[in-house]
Amino acid sequence: MPCGALAGACGVLLCPCHPFAHPCPRTLASAPALGEIGTINPKIRHWRRVAWCRMSDCDDNDLDARGHHRRAPSDVASPFRARTFDPGSFTLDPATGELSWSELTPGTRPPEVTTLDAVQSMVHADDREALARAIAQAPQQRGLDISFRLSTGNAAWRWIRACARLAGAPPDNAPQLRGIYLDISTEKRLEEALRIRERHLRSILQTIPDAMIVIDRHGTILLFSTAAERLFGYPAQEAIGQDISMLMPEPDRSRHSSYIAGYHSTRHPHIIGIGRIVTGQRRDGTVFPMHLSIGEMHSGADSCFTGFVRDLTEHQQTQARLQALQAELVHVSRLTAMGEMASALAHELNQPLAAISNYMKGSRRLLADSEDPGIIRIAHAMDRASEQALRAGQIIRRLRDFVARGESERRVESLSLLIEEASVLGLAGAHEQNVQLHFHLDPEADLALVDRVQIEQVLVNLFRNALEAMEHTPRRELTVTTAPSGDDMTVIRVCDSGVGFEDDVLPSLFQTFFTTKETGMGIGLSISRSIIEAHGGRIWAENTPSGGATFVFTLPAVIDR
């Protein structure tokens, strides 16, 4: 058979130029070469040489009548022989198990091995069952094509691929398997190396923190890494085969096909090779910011794109938190400056306050000799004014000490007395505003371990805020209640009938410099929270169902034994 005819029948799979050359089972089943040439031995060697010559190195004129190369032996040996490995031939009678086979290379076939059972003893134990099954099914399959490991007798195993077709043999036309076998050990080693590299690559893809997605030139997803599954919420088997636009929100989802078409027509890389921040959409519909880097890979006339995606949600949250902390730091700096200013003012104000108190007491003694009936009321008012002047000095001193040392003078105090004293100062003018006052004070929750001046300051601040909130409302009621709590705390509630708060305002009420008043400074409630938390309690605000707002704070209770 001429070399060109065999090339047309078998194709490139029989070309020794290819590192993974195989005989084609379909060709073996259809080509009449084995039967026409004659018996397998020795003329099969003529067919073998023809089949495995390199197509680019010989043609019909390069072969003699026996199919041998006309070239000099040295020309055939180099470099052709270095890339050529000859197949061995075999004939097997499935009914009797008789076998005749040639050497693949010197030493491959022991002379005494002439039966299938003897060959099975040379086959690796893990491959014997598959080989026996393939031979048993050969009459129905009209041939076989199987790979197995064969012992070479030197404690080494060689991978063999056997291909045969079923054909009748004279004189009784009994069916026999006639074919060739190849040493594919090198191919198997390369395949194993490729599998190891693929497993290594997949392990890398499963552990990298960034999501990796590969798409073809039309935008169809080809690879979806484990990180991409976690990021977008789609399992890989569901995402692969879908269009990449499924991971994009509108309007990018509708425009993406035009983006790809525009790139293929202009080859202008708007984003390829350049990382940029875009938005993605998870399976649950949530949209998130992400950093996207895209690379392109060409394979012949085709191309695919690899994208690496990093979720920026946490990064942007961290940046927002950092900005908030910086703003809060500025506020704290301003508050520190105010504290230093307050300390300086406290020193300066103590003297005029002490002078006011002394003048009031002196005036009180001067009025004591008068016989005017209204002198008693005037004297009482002057006594209260003197007390408030002294109280103002105490408040300034306590606040200065609280800022400087972070601690206060705590004693067991009566909450009912503290509320009464705070109401005198904080609710001044309530009668003129027609505010109805209600006090529901539980005697069982009267004692608390507190700093009297600081708690009175909190109560005065809450009372003044309540009066301002009810200034323009038709119903004006202020209710103060105390009650025990189950965790050895006392709960104090200050409830007004004012306008209340919007829901988005409540979480920010106690932040420094936050205010809902046009002329407010935003430090009253912040200081109140600091005082209450320093006492081991907490303070919060809530809207009243009937209208208005309620401020609630807790203080450590003292059990009266």
Backbone angles phi, psi at 86, to 5 degrees: -80, 140
pLDDT surpasses 90 at 252: no
In whole angstroms, give the CA distance from residue 253 to residue 238. Answer: 18
In whole angstroms, give the CA distance from residue 210 to residue 226. Answer: 9
Q: What angle do CA 66, 69, 74 make, to 5 degrees?
A: 140
Across 404-433, average pLDDT:
78
For residue range 185-236, list pLDDT tens digits in order: 889 999 999 999 988 888 887 778 889 999 998 899 999 998 999 999 999 9
How confident is the model at residue 255, as a pLDDT?
A: 86
| Omega prior to 171 cis, within 30 of 0 | yes
**Buried residues in 157-171 as b, exposed as e (16+ CB within 10 A):** bbbbbbbbbbbeeee
How confident is the model at residue 2, as a pLDDT?
A: 36
For residue range 272-313, list pLDDT tens digits in order: 777 788 999 999 999 999 999 888 888 777 888 999 999 998
**Which segment of 14-28, 456-470, 510-524 scores lowest on mean pLDDT?**
14-28
- State how far the alpha carbon of 354 is from the alpha carbons of 187, 341, 342, 346, in Å: 103, 20, 17, 12
Backbone angles phi, psi at 198, to 5 degrees: -70, -40
Across 122-142, average pLDDT:
90
For residue range 499-550, list pLDDT tens digits in order: 888 877 887 788 767 677 665 666 778 888 888 998 899 999 998 888 889 9
pLDDT surpasses 90 at 88: no
What kind and span of H or E run contains 478?
A: strand 477-484
Q: How confident is the model at residue 400 (pLDDT cuts 50, 70, 90)?
A: low
Helix (H, G, I), strand (E, B) or coil at 446: coil
- State how far the alpha carbon of 166 is from the alpha carbons of 68, 131, 238, 326, in Å: 28, 16, 45, 85
Residue 279: left (phi > 0), alpha (psi -120 to 50), or beta?
Answer: beta
In whole angstroms, give the CA distance from residue 497 to residue 472. Answer: 11
Per DSSP, which regions of 24-156 are E strands? 88-92, 99-101, 143-151
| Omega prior to 443 cis, within 30 of 0 | no
Report percent pLDDT > 90 for the chain. 23
pLDDT surpasses 70 at 63: no
How confident is the model at residue 404, as a pLDDT?
A: 55
In whole angstroms, give the CA distance from residue 45 to residue 102. Answer: 9
CB-based contacts of 239, cutoff 8 Å, min separation 6: 221, 224, 228, 229, 232, 246
Across 121-131, average pLDDT:
91
- State how far the alpha carbon of 558 is from the alpha carbons of 416, 480, 489, 530, 550, in Å: 14, 20, 8, 21, 24
Average pLDDT, the chain: 76
How confident is the model at residue 238, as a pLDDT?
A: 93
**In 10 A of CB 305, how many CB atoms?**
20
Report percent pLDDT > 70 for the chain. 73
399 close to 342: Cβ distance less than 8 angstroms: yes
Query: Using N-to-C axis directions, what is the helix angle for 313-367 and 375-405, rounded to 10°?
Result: 150
555: exposed, middle or buried (Cβ count in 10 Å: 0-12, 13-18, 19+): buried
Per the model's pLDDT, the better-predicted residue between 334 and 118 turns out to be: 118
| Omega prior to 94 cis, within 30 of 0 | no
Across 116-130, average pLDDT:
89
